[in-house]
Amino acid sequence: MINGRPLMAPVAMFSGELANLPANWMFRICGDARPAPAQDHAGETVAIWGYRELVEDENHYPELTEWVPEALAIFREYLRPASDLRSE
């Protein structure tokens, strides 16, 4: 996050370590994404996982990247529970 705003990052920036995720998170493969080498998907959103609005509402992710106030308000609602999970 930057100044309380989400910052999206490509999966290549993360290690393959296991992580605890909230039980209510969801997962969606985007568009016609298919298994392929990472370079084939450069710059493309292949999958989204997270809270319900992020996964189910196709407008929410683009609105977050553009820092639309309504989308940011929804995102911030989920920050507290995620912070609690990290402290366990």
> Where are the chain's structural domains?
22-86
Single-letter amino acid code for the residue at 83: S
pLDDT at 66 over 80: yes
Q: Is this model's pTM higher than 0.75 or not?
A: no
64 versus 14: the higher-pLDDT residue is 64
- Nearest-angstrom CA–CA distance, 6 and 2: 7
- Nearest-angstrom CA–CA distance, 73 and 51: 13
Each residue of 11-52: pLDDT tens digit? 667 676 767 778 888 888 877 656 555 555 556 677 788 899
CA dihedral (16, 21, 25, 31) in degrees, to 10, reads -10
83 versus 23: the higher-pLDDT residue is 23
Q: Tokens 């999966």 appear where?
A: 11
- Nearest-angstrom CA–CA distance, 67 and 16: 28
